[in-house]
Structure 1
Amino acid sequence: MKPVRLVATAALSALWLTACGNPSEDAADVEAPNPPEADGETSSNGAAAVDEARLSNAASTPAEWLTYNGTYEEQRHSTLAGISAENISELAPTWTYELNTGRGIESTPIVVDGVMYLTSSWSVVYALDPVTGEELWVHDPEVDRAVGVKACCDVVNRGVAVYDGKVFVGVIDGRLQALDAETGEVEWSVVTVDQSKPYTITGAPRIVKGNVLIGNGGAELGVRGYLSAYDTETGDLDWRFYTVPNPNKEPDGAASDAIFAELANDTWGDDGAWVTDGGGGTVWDAIVYDEVNDQVIFGVGNGSPWNADIRDPNSDGDNLFVSSIVAVDATTGEYKWHYQTTPRDNWDYTATQHIMLADLPVGENGETRRVAMQAPKNGFFYVVDAETGELISGEPYAAINWAEGLDEDGRPIENPEARNNDPETYAGFVQVPAPYGAHNWHPMAMNPDLGLVYIPAMELGQAYITDPRFQSKPAKWNTGMDFSAGMPLRYPEGTVQALRAAAKGTLVAWDPVAQEARWTVEHGAGWNGGILSTASGIIFQGQLDGTFAAYDGATGEELWSDQLNSGALSGPMTYEVDGEQHVTITTGWGHAYGLAAGMLFKDAVPPALGKVITFKLGGEAEIPPLDTDLIVEPEPKAEPFGDEEMLEAGLIHYSRNCGVCHGLLGISSGVLPDLRWSTYTASADAWNNVVMNGALASNGMVSFSDVLTPEDSEAIRAYVVTQAHMNREGVSNQDIQEEAVGPGMDPDAEPELEADEQ
């Protein structure tokens, strides 16, 4: 199979929120086995000639960036110091490369043996010259775009792993591929999931002891999570660790069998939606190799469905290992320890966020201990003993109201209101954090010299209410929470602006020993980019609005910034060529926030093609301006129609099925089509041909006839068209209401805004 150049797509797809799901049982069938001929520790052609020694010593070769987070410690700290506070004013772009996709970009590039490797949306892999940005090869795994509907949080990919002359990539449809590092040709490809289920892969693989480790996503749609280890040479499955029980609580023939029989099975009941919907617990991001203790530490995601009263209604168990940090033997995958951050998770509080290792003076007498650290979605910063999993400390790093702290056993002291999901008795409690979390996938960084961890934090609330219409429907959005609860059919001028102001973002410099913030920088909005730390005391971060900035790591003072003309959310990295330090970031707007929460930033961050942008001192390149051709003219395509009952039904069905892709309140960011301006709203036939018949399935917009009736579909069209007319300049809300459903509506009624912040 020859490398294929990426073609721009305008796919309608993906879903929303925290991240993703899991793979399924006996799914390690090799698609195209073609084991490489090289049998040594390095490749025969010299490209990506990485072995275990190079990975182990990555910190001592800072001119390269060998793994997703830099080294096995995963601190995203480089000992390069060529760019400093004294000369950073000279930092400027030296080259850019256009990725030709308007979807979300989350990749951190790898630079090794004179080549840069990275990914874009749809799991496309690129090899570039790190000095000039020249394209060397491109591999498109040719994913069926209909798979996009399985992706909770856009068709993103966070990067590759390199080893023994091969480049490894997890494909959004559940494949794991090994590519020849010199040519991009496929050496082997395995299917790691049951592709009949809504599994995805978005995370970067890790290399550990000759195996490539990969997890998966899909817990929002209904799957069972696990972590798998495949032989890097052959693609054979070596071991697998499931994170939630077999639905019959029987052995799987997996590394996790013993601990489930001993402990985890008893933390689940014998019935409930988890039995049919998988239970969740997907391993969609953090995977760390702890060399000192010869173990793999990984983060586990949310339960499926989210709603614990639906997921596991007849027990009050903790539901292990949902929302946990888990350690397993690096060779066998057998259980070593766990720490559960959110027992019996009810709110999509995944513990899949970035985990890093460090040696810190946190013992009783200040002695140094090897620790693992995480700032997961639930808002607590955890420091645990890396060898045993013992909690050393945990304190909130961001605003939270769902818990008051941690008890002596390390369990959260929950606010009693947090679990009141009953729509009959719900008292209006807006929980912080929302499912986006106080920190999501955006990687942290640490400066070990300053003793600080840098967290891209945010603040946003959510009303969690049980969906009274819930029916188990794995393969579509399947949370058990009512996304339409409290959503206003009409809203006064200023509502969207007020919601934007409520979504806050912060760069937090956190002292993990004192468990307190040393300093913070407030951003204009939430959902900002990952962090890079360097030995010169500088940290770099991109922001939602396209700003790429450098800060003094000790004080938070801004030292430099540039405008990238696109959302800058991925983790930056740095490398050196001929004594010149380079800093690279990938850009491209989309992601969970970019799809579902378009109303929060639509005016600030228009859609833009993704790019790779590299800086150095004295760079002379220019960042391409915003492509205004991607911005759609806001013009309704039909007159408003439908009575009040129809519009209310449309609001409910839109919120449950459409908002996670096309934006709450019908307002899209433009990454996926804004349905208010869609030509398909012009007639019922055109609309239903897409929504019910799947006419655009090849673009990712599959049929929803399994969850909607034709009447439901037409109600959604009525709601979307009415929302379009609410944006007409010079026309009041009262006019629109009377035009659609007749006089008598109260345009000044106080809206319920809480659920708008989902």
Structure 2
Amino acid sequence: MASAAMLVAGHPGSAPSVHRSEPAAILKDGSDGANWAGYGRTFGEQHYSPLDQVNARNLGDLGLSWSIDLPPGNAVTQPLEVDGVLYFTTGYSVVHAVDAVTGGELWTYDPHAPEAAGERLRRSWGSRGLGYWDGRIYTGTVDGRLIALDARTGTVAWSSQTLEDGDLRYITAAPRIFDGKVIVGHGGADSSDARGYVTAYDARTGEQVWRFFTVPGDPAKGFENAAMAMAAKTWSGEWWKFGGGGTVWNALSYDPETRTVFIGTGNGAPWNRKVRSQGKGDNLFLASILALDVNTGRYKWHYQVNPGETWDYNAAMDMHLANLRIGGKVRKVLVTAPKNGFLYVIDRTNGKFISAEKIAKVTWATRIDPKTGRPVEVAGARYENGQSFELWPSNSGAHSHMPSAFSPQTGLVYVPVAEAGLVFTDAGLDLANWKRTPHAAYDVGAYPAFGPSTKLPDPTSFLVAWNPATQKLAWKVETPKKWNGGLMATAGNLVFQGQADGQFNAYDARTGKRLWSFAAQAPVLAAPISYMVGGRQYITVLAGPGTSAGVDASAIATTSDYRTTQRRVLTFAIGGTATLPRPEPADTTPLDDPDYREDTASATRGARLFGQCFSCHGIGADAGGGVAPDLRRSPIPLSSEAFAAVVHEGALVSQGMPIFPEFSARDMDDLRQYLRSRRADLRSANSQQMRAGS
């Protein structure tokens, strides 16, 4: 990929027109659907297209129009389309512009984010999407930059650093642009003392307009506003020393009628409330929906889905704005399905609770009290007195960051639901003196499933269609294993969704019947979009592995190898006749390691060190999700020199492999020993299978 913006001279799409007269027109919920200019298409984040040229009657004629092969790197990212140009990111915020009709490349911009990220690179998989406003494309980077690019040429208009020097926050979300302001948050509460905030920048200049902190800081330094003073009353101890959390790492919505920005906040830092707040208080504004004034960032109201959050239960999932008839009256509502297993309907004018019901298996609470809007928790859910608790949904959520969708045509919300459990305990931890482990990828003040646990049922997943007005299930379709893809609903009475097994599907939006499927040859977890160019409706989705789906191979439908799994942009239209090349079988046999000698003590120490690596390379170093190489098959651990060049000296930083200078010589030997032992285990398992087959 080019390291700077590249314009393809003479290409028919190389000088796209841009909307300058009314930048908000194509982002309003009532827009015609010709463009998909925002992450959820419009300010209301419905992930709904009003186009109906592609519909249930002609789906049989829907075919591949064109495709583009992509290099290794995160492909779970959603594109945008404006005026016949498709924009998307790959890997670490590498931005591409291509002709939406032909796939011809127009320009590419690489911010070289891995090289600038430092330790932040250990905690992020890359960008999930882009923003568009008035002729510019906006992207955030793992090193914290917010960058505005000219949509015609890919040249940098401005770049602003949104994070503080030396912290371990990072940006993965798509920037949102509301009323001429670029709104961006960050992640980082799972592994650092992060105090969450969201910041607005002038879309023209990149100058900061306002910043709103989501949790209070040190009272001795004073509070930024009355909202922080109010929130501080819900915390105990010296919480600010742990940061507190509440990062705004994903969902944002906007109501232009009231000029209100809706912010979804994340989990506590650390997760365990007994550590960060002496086990006391609601800990505002963790796991909350916040309403802020778009011009000033002033607090309007909040609703907290998990008071005293202690399970990594984010409220940072999609927030759909809709008008629903409830109890004979049309209500202006916000609909959201956060991690905790309930689907909520909230009055978006004042934050008042309307209703919530379970859409997945839930063990931590019996219901949401209709009078107070607070959950009725199950005894023991906070793993008290050193006891363990079997938590459903797990910390990865009944609904993760793969987008849900709302169709104003059917009145239904469509949610990619995961059914997975997790055992929590903090037994054995010195909670009074707990401190973060330096450099740890995850350090949360408790033991989730990556520590002591009991055997739980294998994960499953579903595509769920839910009526938010009645809080009733409309239909449900089982999908492969745990991870299923982001969603788009259309006025053609269709719902499009990809799966981890490589199928890209279309369902009847009212019944759930699968009407169409395309074999993408790679996991399809990103959300699709739809748009109209030259009177023809197109549907585009990115295929390929990425994000947290790569952590546990048992949670995906098929193994995806980092080096051989295809990553592609796929674009469909009625009458499309393009085909994908036949996939070449890959030789994934692990290399022989004749010098290997078993050393259990060394391998055990190496396994503990590998705790900093599993979020990319997978539990057990198997990288079954394909976001990073399977180290059991990699030649690099076979050579101490090659291993040092990568791990100590950063030979592969540009490809997303972080540097670990803190590892000692013994650490390096132990880590290599562990990886070589995992290689030996794989070779042994393969030999047993061959003998069984013969």
Output the TM-score relative to the length of structure 1: 0.83
Residue equivalent to 2:472: 516
Residue equivalent to 2:394: 434
2:246 counterpart of 1:281: yes
Report the CA distance between 1:612 and its aligned residue. 1.2
Contact kept in structure 2, 1:668 and 1:674, CA below 8 Å: yes
The SS at the match of 1:416 is coil
Q: Which amino acid aligns with 2:398?
A: A
Q: Give the one of 636, 659, 666 matched to 2:614.
A: 659
Q: Give the one of 537, 546, 556 matched to 2:502.
A: 546
Report the CA distance between 1:721 and its aligned residue. 2.5
Residue equivalent to 2:157: 187
Residue equivalent to 2:330: 368
Q: Which amino acid aligns with 2:417?
A: A
Contact kept in structure 2, 1:50 and 1:163, CA below 8 Å: no
Residues 560 and 327 of structure 1: CA distance in aligned 2, closer, same or farther (over 3 Å)? same
The SS at the match of 1:672 is coil
Contact kept in structure 1, 2:181 and 2:200, CA below 8 Å: yes
Q: Which amino acid aligns with 1:61?
A: D
Residues 367 and 731 of structure 1: CA distance in aligned 2, closer, same or farther (over 3 Å)? closer
Output the TM-score relative to the length of structure 2: 0.90
Q: Which amino acid aligns with 2:580?
A: I
Q: Which amino acid aligns with 1:353?
A: M
Report the CA distance between 1:649 and its aligned residue. 3.6
Q: Distance in 1 between matches of 2:70 and 2:115?
A: 17
Residue equivalent to 1:80: 51
Residues 403 and 231 of structure 1: CA distance in aligned 2, closer, same or farther (over 3 Å)? same
Contact kept in structure 2, 1:546 and 1:605, CA below 8 Å: no
Q: Distance in 1 between matches of 2:66 and 2:356?
A: 42
Report the CA distance between 1:560 and its aligned residue. 0.4
Q: Deviations over 1:463-498 (max 9, x none)?
A: 22337486424653232233652379xxxxxxxxx9
* 1:162-561 alignment runs, 5 A limit: 162-222=132-192, 223-248=194-219, 250-251=221-222, 253=224, 257-261=225-229, 263-271=230-238, 274-312=239-277, 314=278, 316-362=280-326, 365-407=327-369, 408-420=371-383, 425-427=386-388, 429-466=389-426, 468=429, 471-473=435-437, 476-477=440-441, 478-482=443-447, 484-486=450-452, 502-561=458-517
Q: Deviations over 1:566-620 (max 9, x none)?
A: 11111111111222211111122021121x1134438443442422110001102
Identity %: 38
Contact kept in structure 1, 2:291 and 2:302, CA below 8 Å: yes
Q: Which amino acid aligns with 1:343?
A: P
Report the CA distance between 1:371 and its aligned residue. 0.5
Runs of 5+ consecutive residues of structure 1 not aligned to the other structure: 7-43, 489-497, 734-758
Q: Distance in 1 between matches of 2:5 and 2:622?
A: 33
Residues 639 and 309 of structure 1: CA distance in aligned 2, closer, same or farther (over 3 Å)? farther
Q: Distance in 2 between matches of 1:45 and 1:661?
A: 38
Residue equivalent to 1:719: 674
Q: Give the one of 90, 99, 108 matched to 1:120.
A: 90
Q: Deviations over 1:180-201 (max 9, x none)?
A: 1111110111001114211111
The SS at the match of 2:148 is strand
Residues 606 and 694 of structure 1: CA distance in aligned 2, closer, same or farther (over 3 Å)? closer
Residues 545 and 718 of structure 1: CA distance in aligned 2, closer, same or farther (over 3 Å)? same
Kindly tell me the number of residue pairs found equivalent between the two proteins: 668
Residues 124 and 732 of structure 1: CA distance in aligned 2, closer, same or farther (over 3 Å)? closer
The SS at the match of 1:394 is strand
Residue equivalent to 1:147: 117
Residue equivalent to 1:97: 68
The SS at the match of 1:611 is strand
Runs of 5+ consecutive residues of structure 2 not aligned to the other structure: 7-14, 689-694
Q: Distance in 2 between matches of 1:421 and 1:692?
A: 41
The SS at the match of 1:260 is helix
Q: Deviations over 1:143-196 (max 9, x none)?
A: 134737525764321222222221111122111111111111101110011142
Residue equivalent to 2:4: 4
Report the CA distance between 1:380 and its aligned residue. 0.8
2:555 counterpart of 1:593: no
Contact kept in structure 1, 2:109 and 2:154, CA below 8 Å: yes
Q: Distance in 1 between matches of 2:122 and 2:151?
A: 30
Q: Which amino acid aligns with 1:333?
A: G
Residues 523 and 167 of structure 1: CA distance in aligned 2, closer, same or farther (over 3 Å)? same
The SS at the match of 2:632 is helix
Report the CA distance between 1:650 and its aligned residue. 3.6
Q: Which amino acid aligns with 2:538?
A: H
Residues 52 and 576 of structure 1: CA distance in aligned 2, closer, same or farther (over 3 Å)? closer
The SS at the match of 1:532 is strand
Contact kept in structure 2, 1:62 and 1:79, CA below 8 Å: yes
Residue equivalent to 1:611: 568
Which structure has more relative contact order (CA 8 Å, sep 6+)? It is 1
Q: Distance in 2 between matches of 1:724 and 1:433?
A: 33
Contact kept in structure 1, 2:268 and 2:286, CA below 8 Å: yes
Residues 316 and 552 of structure 1: CA distance in aligned 2, closer, same or farther (over 3 Å)? same
Report the CA distance between 1:340 and its aligned residue. 0.8
* 1:27-42 alignment runs, 5 A limit: none
Report the CA distance between 1:81 and its aligned residue. 0.9
Contact kept in structure 1, 2:340 and 2:393, CA below 8 Å: yes
Q: Deviations over 1:313-346 (max 9, x none)?
A: x350111111111101111110011111111211
Contact kept in structure 1, 2:501 and 2:558, CA below 8 Å: no
Q: Distance in 2 between matches of 1:436 and 1:151?
A: 21
Q: Distance in 1 between matches of 2:243 and 2:608?
A: 26
Q: Distance in 1 between matches of 2:169 and 2:594?
A: 37
Residues 628 and 590 of structure 1: CA distance in aligned 2, closer, same or farther (over 3 Å)? farther
Contact kept in structure 1, 2:288 and 2:303, CA below 8 Å: yes
Q: Distance in 2 between matches of 1:575 and 1:246?
A: 44
